[in-house]
């Protein structure tokens, strides 16, 4: 009992991570401007969705305050209190925040990119997942569906393939983060970690196929983000709460889930190596979300109360607003706060800039 108490008190100190003492990120977030990107095209899930899922499912909590309370002062469909990593990347690039592709009124920023990401979406199609008895609960707009939207969009703005290649060579493409939900749904729908590990090559192949399609349609600079350390996220810490302290690493994250994320990320990095050989003229960069998150995590020295439980996410009826989101990493147990996203984005930009190889 004492051991259980100790573990759960460790856990309780974990979830709300204070960022107050986080040193200022030592980079100029404007530095992406040297790349002179004139548009950004984003595919992915809730990490990047700027309003697509709520147009499919308007009743979701992300369509209500307190989602969006910071910066926007209204819900936008972003799964955060404020801005997402992609928003900080857009700002650092000097491009307006990306409109969600399903917002048919948002013609204003067209031509400077578009966001096809859908919260809750998977790398594998709903049909492929169904064969494995996994069902995506929120949306069927998987990576291949988003790609179709993107290609339809390009058909609308390009005269032909050559024109598209010309128009898109100065754009930034971001394919992911995606795949996290494939594993999440499988795990929460009763699959073992071993079974889920067998999904990794298929998920990575789906991402590789998507990147290939982006490139064959004119994409010349592509960032492919990996997974976060999912064993550190409150939703998993709650759902897979273990009694044995050996199941946790020194940061009190679930080891086997982080091992799964690392395995996926290693496979993804190998796929990127292959893609580079297959497409010598194209810049393809791994987006190290895992280590960017770990950096923020390890620099958030002050710990607070553990307020998260799966059915008490901020934004659900009867749940109070999370106080002081600027001092926390986790906004709702699944998604990061605006502040955490900012730190992760800064870290990421610093990391990808040399590989993007932009000439000043």
CB 333 within 8 A of CB 286: no
Is 140 near ligand NAG (CB under 6 A)? yes
State the Cα–Cα distance between residues 105 and 93, nearest whole angstrom: 24
Is 119 near ligand NAG (CB under 6 A)? no
State the Cα–Cα distance between residues 141 and 275, nearest whole angstrom: 25
Question: Would you say the C-alpha torsion 242, 254, 175, 211 has a positive or negative sign?
Answer: negative
State the Cα–Cα distance between residues 17 and 8, nearest whole angstrom: 16
Shortest CB 270 distance to ligand NAG, Å? 31
Nearer CB in complex with ligand NAG: 71/240: 240
CB 312 within 8 A of CB 57: no
Nearer CB in complex with ligand NAG: 113/120: 120
> Which residue in 94, 29, 34 sits closest to 360, CA to CA?
34
State the Cα–Cα distance between residues 357 and 80, nearest whole angstrom: 31
How many CB atoms are located within 10 Å of the residue 252 CB?
Answer: 17
CB 68 within 8 A of CB 78: yes
Please identify, among the stretches 89-97, 135-143, 259-267, 328-336, the one whose residues bind ligand NAG according to the rule CB under 6 A: 135-143
Of 138, 224, 230, 237, the one binding ligand NAG by CB under 6 A? 138
Range 215-244, binding ligand NAG (CB under 6 A): 242-243
Shortest CB 284 distance to ligand NAG, Å? 31
Is 131 near ligand NAG (CB under 6 A)? no
Nearer CB in complex with ligand NAG: 119/352: 119
- Tell me the sheet residues that pair with 287: 225
For residue 80, how many C-alpha atoms fall within 13 Å in the half-sphere facing its CB? 28
Shortest CB 240 distance to ligand NAG, Å? 7
Shortest CB 278 distance to ligand NAG, Å? 32
Give Cα 98 distance to the centre of its chain. Answer: 15
Shortest CB 190 distance to ligand NAG, Å? 14
Nearer CB in complex with ligand NAG: 165/242: 242
Please identify, among the stretches 68-76, 133-141, 259-267, 314-322, the one whose residues bind ligand NAG according to the rule CB under 6 A: 133-141
The count of chain residues that interact with ligand NAG, using the rule CB under 6 A, is: 7
Nearer CB in complex with ligand NAG: 126/319: 126
Residues catalogued as catalytic: 46, 332, 335
Is 356 near ligand NAG (CB under 6 A)? no
Q: Where are the alpha helices (DSSP H) in the chain?
A: 2-14, 53-56, 85-93, 126-131, 143-157, 161-168, 180-188, 193-216, 234-239, 255-278, 289-298, 338-356
Is 126 near ligand NAG (CB under 6 A)? yes
Nearer CB in complex with ligand NAG: 126/193: 126
Shortest CB 242 distance to ligand NAG, Å? 5
Instruction: Give contact residues for ligand NAG (rule: CB under 6 A).
Output: 126, 136, 138-140, 242-243
């Amino acid at each position: 009992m004492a051991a259980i108490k100790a573990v759960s008190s460790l856990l309780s100190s974990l979830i709300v991570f204070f960022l107050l003492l986080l040193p200022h990120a030592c980079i100029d977030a404007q530095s992406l401007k040297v790349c002179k990107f004139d548009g950004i095209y984003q595919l992915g899930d809730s990490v990047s969705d700027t309003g697509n899922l709520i147009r499919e499912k308007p009743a979701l909590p992300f369509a209500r305050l307190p989602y969006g309370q910071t910066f926007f002062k209204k819900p936008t469909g972003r799964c955060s209190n404020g801005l997402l990593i992609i928003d900080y990347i857009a700002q650092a690039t000097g491009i307006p925040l990306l409109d969600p592709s399903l917002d048919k009124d948002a013609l204003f920023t067209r031509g400077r990119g578009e966001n096809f990401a859908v919260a809750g979406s998977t790398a594998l199609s709903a049909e492929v997942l169904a064969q494995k008895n996994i069902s995506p609960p929120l949306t069927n707009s998987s990576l291949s569906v988003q790609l179709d939207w993107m290609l339809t969009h390009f058909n609308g703005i390009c005269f032909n393939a050559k024109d598209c290649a010309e128009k898109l060579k100065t754009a930034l493409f971001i394919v992911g983060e995606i795949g996290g939900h494939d594993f999440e749904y499988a795990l929460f729908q009763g699959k073992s970690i071993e079974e889920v590990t067998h999904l990794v090559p298929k998920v990575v192949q789906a991402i590789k196929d998507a990147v290939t399609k982006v490139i064959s349609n004119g994409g010349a600079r592509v960032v492919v983000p990996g997974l976060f350390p999912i064993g550190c996220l409150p939703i998993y810490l709650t759902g897979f709460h273990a009694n044995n302290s050996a199941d946790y690493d020194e940061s009190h994250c679930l080891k086997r889930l982080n091992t799964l994320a690392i395995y996926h990320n290693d496979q993804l990095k190998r796929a990127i190596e292959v893609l580079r050989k297959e497409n010598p003229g194209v810049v393809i960069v791994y987006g190290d979300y895992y280590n960017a998150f770990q950096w923020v995590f390890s620099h958030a020295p002050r710990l607070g109360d553990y307020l998260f439980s799966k059915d008490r996410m901020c934004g659900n009826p009867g749940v109070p607003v999370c106080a002081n989101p600027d001092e926390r990493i986790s906004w709702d147990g699944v998604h990061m706060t605006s502040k955490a996203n900012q730190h992760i984005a800064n870290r990421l930009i610093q990391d990808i800039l040399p590989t993007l190889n932009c000439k000043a």
